[in-house]
Amino acid sequence: MLKHLLWTECASSTNDLIKKYPANSVLIAGIQTKGRGRQGRDWLSVKGGLYFTYKKPLNCFLENLQGGFCAITIGAACHKALTMPNKPVQKLYLKWPNDLLNDKLEKIAGILIEVSQQNYLIGIGLNCGSNPEFANYQSLYSNLYLAKLIINQIDLFAQKPKADIIEYWEKHTHHKKNTQIKAHLPNGSLIEGKFKFLGQNGELWLQATADNKLISLESGILQD
């Protein structure tokens, strides 16, 4: 459970700066000068967005945070926090493994999960400034409040039965069964196929276009 809530006006990356703080801390930054995305990409972190990292010990014994399923759990928890009743973001979709898309299918949030010194560093970035729904939201609540809402849902989702999380993800994903998807893999290759289902470990199952074989992806970035 959350112990320390820290705020700084500027960080290189909250995923880096959090390393000097104890486990169960959350660090929020007003801007980041070296914000990082998945697969070595940059994450533009200008004023107005929400950028924070939640540091959780690896040995928290929460099955939902183990391996690839962690990304699914965190994505689903963020989705829940941002779409709860009376929240202005009502249409939000999950894109594998844990991006959040608005109703125009534009990415409005991304999550970078890293492991350092026996801790998960769960980094979350929300493009509040560029999204009118969030601008609306921010006039009502502070970024601090929004971060607390998300952290609260992460702690709740971490304890839910795994089946409930898969059901939640499948209900709120924009991926439709048998639709074509392309994935950029960490080794630089591109794979194409039909989306089939989300596996028990958070992996994405596809039927490959090249040979019709059923294959699973553990990580990757799906092309829009």
Interacting residues with ligand BTN (CB under 6 A): 13-15, 32, 35-38, 41, 43, 51-53, 99, 110-112, 123-125
**Smallest separation, CB 88 to ligand BTN (Å):** 21
- State the minimum distance, in angstroms, from the CB of residue 49 to ligand BTN: 8
Single out the residue of 96, 126, 98 nearest to residue 35, CA to CA.
Answer: 126
CA–CA dist 189, 203 (Å, integer):
17
C-alpha to C-alpha distance for 124 and 147, rounded to whole angstroms: 9
C-beta separation of 108 from 98 below 8 A:
no
Nearest-approach distance from CB 16 to ligand BTN, in angstroms: 7
Residue number closest to ligand BTN, CB atom: 110
Our CB check for ligand BTN shows the closer of 25 and 32 to be 32
Q: Which is nearer to ligand BTN, 160 or 172 (CB)?
A: 172
Residue in 88, 167, 101 with CA at minimum distance from that of residue 134:
88
| Nearest residue (CB) to ligand BTN, 44 versus 208 | 44
Task: Output 104 or 177, the one with its CB closest to ligand BTN.
Answer: 104
* Closest to 122 in 3D by CA, of 52, 202, 49: 52
Take residue 50 and report the two structure tokens written for it.
């929400």
CB of 213 to ligand BTN, least distance (A): 28
